[in-house]
Each structure stands twice: as structure tokens, then as C-alpha cells.
Amino acid sequence: MSNKAQLGGDAGFVALELALGVAVLLLPVAAIVLTIPTWSERQTTARAIAREVARIVARDGLCDTVVATGLATVMAANLGVRRDDVTVDLECAPGAPLPPGGSVQVDVTVRMPAVHLPALGTIGEWRWTARHREPVDLYGSAP
């Protein structure tokens, strides 16, 4: 009778260990695995925006932050990133013509979610910056 009493006392721990194992190990790993594609998508989006904004600014030959910001927000919306999550910085004097043969550098910073859960939203965030430098054409840019 003592063997049955010893076995009956531990009967409920397996369910508790399974629930704790799923909650402590499986759910955080699943949340991170579901968020990793978002990081890659936003990095690719930032690179594409930086490249296209730098090309247009270099082609126009004028450091126009309004055009660069407008273009970046439209591209971000088209690529599925909220407009508030993207910022653009130009490395030139605003409104000044770019010197032929020089270059323009564009920095695009996107907000990255640390963990994104579909039902709960975003938990934590960090920022990632893509940088692209484009040469200004010697003969094709505006003076």
C-alpha cells in the first residue's frame, strides 16, 4: 500500500511542468522566430529607400530635404512600413546645389520591433540605419 501512496502523490506535476515548459521556453522562441522576418524586411526597405533617394538627389543636383523626406515616406508606405517608422538624413547643406563630381550621402533609419506578437503588438524596439553614397554626375546634374 505504501507504493501506491508514493506514486499517487506526484501524479499532478507532469501537467504543470508541461505548461511551464511551453510558457517559459516555447513561447519566447516562437515570438522571436516570428519577428526575424520583420527585421530582414525593414533592413531591405531601408537600403532600397537610401539607394533611391540618393540617386534622385544626385541626379537633380540639389540638396532638397523636403523632396527626400517625401520620397522616403511614399516608398516606405508602398513597401509596407509605417511612415512614422522611417527617418531620412542628407549629408549636404539643405537647399544648396551639389558640386559636380561630388557625392551625396543619405542615411535612412528605420524602427525595428524587438518582438512583434500579432495579438499583442510590438514589445520593445531598436533602430537600424542604412547608408548610401551616390556620386553626382559631372555633366548631367543641375548646376
* Per-residue model confidence as pLDDT tens digits over 39-58: 889 999 999 999 999 999 99
The answer to whether the beta carbons of residues 137 and 59 sit under 8 Å apart is yes
- Whether residue 7 is contained in a domain is answered as no
- Whether residue 143 is contained in a domain is answered as no
- Whether residue 91 is contained in a domain is answered as yes
- Whether residue 39 is contained in a domain is answered as yes
Kindly list the strands in the beta sheet with 86-90, ordered across the sheet, starting from the edge strand earlier in the chain: 86-90, 103-117, 121-135
- Predicted TM-score (pTM) of the model is 0.75
CA distance linking residue 72 with residue 67, whole number of Å: 8
- Whether residue 116 is contained in a domain is answered as yes
Helix (H), strand (E) at residue 107: strand 103-117
pLDDT beyond 80 at 142:
no
Q: Which three cell numbers stand for residue 88?
A: 531620412
Tell me which residue of 127, 92, 123, 121 sits closest to 106, measured CA to CA: 92
CA distance linking residue 137 with residue 58, whole number of Å: 7
Task: For 70-121, write each residue's pLDDT tens digit.
Answer: 999 999 999 889 889 999 999 988 888 888 888 999 999 999 988 877 777 7
- Whether residue 6 is contained in a domain is answered as no
Give the residue numbers spanning the domain of 131. 12-135
- Whether residue 2 is contained in a domain is answered as no
More confident residue, 57 or 13: 57
The end-to-end CA distance of the chain, in Å, is 99
- Amino acid code (one letter) for 13: F
- Whether residue 1 is contained in a domain is answered as no
Q: What total of structural domains would you count in the chain?
A: 1
In degrees to the nearest 10, what's the CA dihedral of 40, 42, 45, 49?
-140
The owner of cell 533609419 is 109
